[in-house]
Amino acid sequence: MPRLLNVMLVCLMMLIGAGVPAVAKDITIDGIRFGQNGTTTRFVLDVSSEATPSIFLLADPYRVVIDLPEANWRTNGDVKTSGVVDGYRHGLFSPGVYRIVLDLKAPATIANSFTLPPNGQYSHRLVLDIEPTSRSSFLSAVQSSKSERPSFASASVPDVTAPRKRISGKRVVVIDAGHGGPDPGNLGVIGVHEKIVVLEIARAIRDELNKTGRYQVHMTRDRDIFHPVRERFRIARRHHADLFISVHADSIKNPNVSGASVYNLSETASDREAARLAARENKSDVIAGVNLAEADDDVSSILIDLAQRETMNFSAQYANILVQELGRDVPLLQRTHRFANLGVLKAPDVPSVLLEAGYLTNKSNARFINSSDGRKKIAQAVRRATDRYFQQMVALGR
Task: Read off the CATH number of the domain in which 332 is found.
Answer: 3.40.630.40
Angle between helices 229-238 and 298-305 (to 10 degrees): 60
Rounded CA-CA distance 234/121 in Å is: 47
Determine the pLDDT at residue 158. 62
For residues 347 and 220, membership in a common domain is answered with yes
HSE-CB at 300 with a 13 A cutoff on CA atoms is 3
Q: Are 179 and 247 in contact (CB under 8 A)?
A: no
Taking Cα atoms as reference points, which of 100, 103, 98 lies closest to residue 63? 103
Q: Is the residue at 158 inside a domain? A: no
Enter the DSSP assignment of 253: S
- 162 in a domain, yes or no? no
Q: Which of 126, 144, 162 is the last residue of a domain?
A: 144
Do 182 and 101 form a contact (C-beta atoms < 8 A)? yes
Do 345 and 215 belong to one domain? yes
Range of the domain at 87: 3-144
Q: Which amino acid is at 160?
A: V
Asked whether the predicted pLDDT for residue 351 surpasses 70, the reply is: yes
Q: Is the preceding peptide bond at 228 cis, omega within 30 degrees of 0?
A: no
What whole-number distance in Å separates Cα of residue 251 and Cα of residue 361? Answer: 5
Same domain membership, residue 137 and residue 179: no
Q: Looking at the 3D structure of the chain, how many domains does it have?
A: 2
pLDDT bucket at 290, cuts 50 / 70 / 90: confident
Is residue 54 one of the residues assigned to a domain?
A: yes
pLDDT for residue 161: 73
Distance CA 295, CA 64 (A): 19
First-to-last alpha carbon distance for the chain, in angstroms, is: 68
The average confidence (pLDDT) of the chain is 86
The torsion region of residue 83 among left (phi > 0), alpha (psi -120 to 50) and beta comes to left
Q: Domain for residue 325, yes or no?
A: yes
Question: What are the tens digits of pLDDT across the range 180-227?
Answer: 999 999 988 999 999 999 999 999 999 999 999 999 999 999 999 999
pLDDT at 145: 79
One domain for residues 211 and 287: yes
Q: What is the distance between the alpha carbons of residues 339 and 312, in angstroms, rounded to a whole number? A: 11
CATH number of the structural domain spanning residue 53: 2.60.40.3500
Closest CA to 75 of 122, 13, 29: 29
Element (H, E) at 232: helix 229-238
**pLDDT of 31-69, one tens digit each?**
999 999 999 999 999 999 887 788 999 999 999 999 999
Residues near 76 by Cβ (< 8 Å), separated by ≥ 6?
none
Pairwise CA distance, residues 310 & 350, whole Å: 10
Same domain, 99 and 214: no
pTM of the predicted structure, to 2 decimals: 0.84
Does any domain span residue 157?
A: no
Q: How many CB atoms lie within 10 A of CB 2?
A: 7
pLDDT of residue 63: 96
Helix (H), strand (E), coil (C) string for 84-112: CEEEEEEEEEECCEEEEEEEECCCEEEEE
Which helix (H) or strand (E) segment holds residue 278: the answer is: helix 272-281
Least confident window among 14-28, 76-90, 126-140, 281-295: 14-28
Domain shared by 213 and 319, yes or no: yes
Span 8-29, pLDDT tens digits: 433 433 333 333 344 445 589 9
Task: Please check whether residue 128 lies inside any domain of the structure.
Answer: yes
